[in-house]
Amino acid sequence: MTFKHLDPFDIRNYIASGEWQGKAGAYAIQGLGSLFVRQIQGSYSNIVGLPLFEVSNLLNGNSFNVWTHSQLMDADNS
């Protein structure tokens, strides 16, 4: 991931927003931090926290059907 150049105005306002608190890397790409992202290479979900595409492929490749188990979870929650 590549950030744009951050000027003092950007930095001050992002700090004032408080969004950075409790975040790995002190930004949230799914929030205001996305205003600073120039380019992403690779998995967006990995940047957010869990590489869902890669994990589902790994699970499916090991005979774990993600769709079957997600339906079971939905039935348990109803």
Same domain, 35 and 67: no
State how many domains the chain has.
2
Supply the range of the domain harboring residue 18: 1-41
Residues 5 and 32 reside in one and the same domain: yes
Radius of gyration of the chain (CA): 18
C-alpha dist (Å) from residue 12 to 17, 18, 55: 9, 10, 37
Q: What is the pLDDT of residue 47?
A: 79
Shared-domain flag, residues 1 and 28: yes
Strand partners, 2: 39
pLDDT tens for the chain, 78 residues long, are 899 999 999 999 999 999 999 887 788 888 898 899 999 888 887 777 777 888 888 888 888 887 787 765 555 555
